[in-house]
Amino acid sequence: MPRWRTFPDELDPQVREFAEQLRRVVDRSGLSVAAVADRTGYSRTSWERYLDGRLLAPKGAVVALAEVTGTPPVHLTTMWELAERAWSRSEMRQDRTMEAVRIAQARAALGEFGPPPEVRADGADRDAGTPDGTGPAGGGARGAGPRRTTLFLAGAVGVVVVAVGAFLLSDGGDPERTAGATAPSSSASAGPSTVLPSGVLCGGAGCTGRDAEEMGCSGDLATTARSATVGTTLVEVRYSRTCGAVWGRITRAGQGDEVRLTAGSARQTGAITVAGDTIAYTPMVAVRSAADAAAATACAVLASGQQGCTP
């Protein structure tokens, strides 16, 4: 059975090349994915995603891999920068696809109202039926109902057309403007930063319940706010000012060990469920400041029965 999975067909060539280089570095080191995870501080699940091309490794993970394998980091970080740009372009293309879907849905909604009214045909029928304009009085009464329906449908179609036009003229037709407009609101509670850096996918309340590594909040963007040792296991409160969030993490742990985070009234839990893994972390919880992060508590609950929390 091959060690690595086949890359997705739609993977960008530069991202593929970068992932292949990461695989070569791991192969040359002789380390297993679990060992790489243990030594770099990034989970085994995350490394599997990085090496399979399903997720772009954050720069911090790349630098950590270079350190533990004795690989010069300059070449790897250069390749990462190229891959990161390609990944961003791919996300932009996906945004355009979603935009096209929204426009298609709007057009489909237009179609539900039926074809536009045939004004000339209506007039022609009226003229044909009453050449001298002196047709039966009842004919006018019978035509009033259809004409009112036609006017209603025309008005409804007009409203939808205006709505679609406003969508396209505002930010719907420009993915870059859309990204620029939504980024500040999603990071409003992430601290002083108002625009999320490239690779960071959430900010503030939008990070609550999300995976720190998948959202790009870990690595270079995270620091340890509190820590303690329980037996040989290190338990930490990790804090990202950029993302405005905290999470709990345990390292040097084993299967069955848990980490529990309390931040204000919010609680999150993570656990090691796979034999060989040594790291676990909780989903994130949004915080307003570094002081709130320092007030959070992370506890390690080990399978051996030992327990302990950060001060």
From residue 244, alpha-carbon distances to 109, 218, 291, 294 in Å are 40, 12, 11, 13
> How are the residues of the chain apportioned to helix, strand and coil, as percentages rounded to the nearest 5?
50, 15, 35
User: How do residues 293-307 score in pLDDT, each as one tens digit?
Assistant: 999 999 999 999 999
Could you tell me if 118 and 51 lie in one domain? no
Q: Is residue 196, in this structure, part of any structural domain at all? A: no
Please check whether residues 155 and 214 belong to one and the same domain: no
Verify that 263 and 166 share a domain, yes or no: no
Number of CB atoms found within 10 A of residue 175's CB = 18
Its domain, for residue 45, covers 13-91
Which pLDDT tens digit goes with each residue over 17-71? Answer: 999 999 999 999 999 999 999 889 898 889 999 999 888 988 889 989 998 998 8
Q: Are 304 and 229 in a shared domain? A: yes
| Domain-embedded: residue 194 | no
Asked if residue 117 is part of any domain, the answer here is yes
Q: 175 and 239 share a domain?
A: no
* 121 & 167 share domain: yes
Distance, in Å, from the CA atom of 76 to the CA atom of 62, rounded to the nearest integer, reads 7
Most confidently modeled range among 90-99, 157-166, 299-308: 299-308
Total domains present in the chain: 3
121 and 156 assigned to the same domain: yes
Global confidence as pTM: 0.48
Strand (E) or helix (H) holding 297? strand 297-301
Same domain, 77 and 122: no
- Asked if 124 and 176 sit in the same domain, the reply is yes
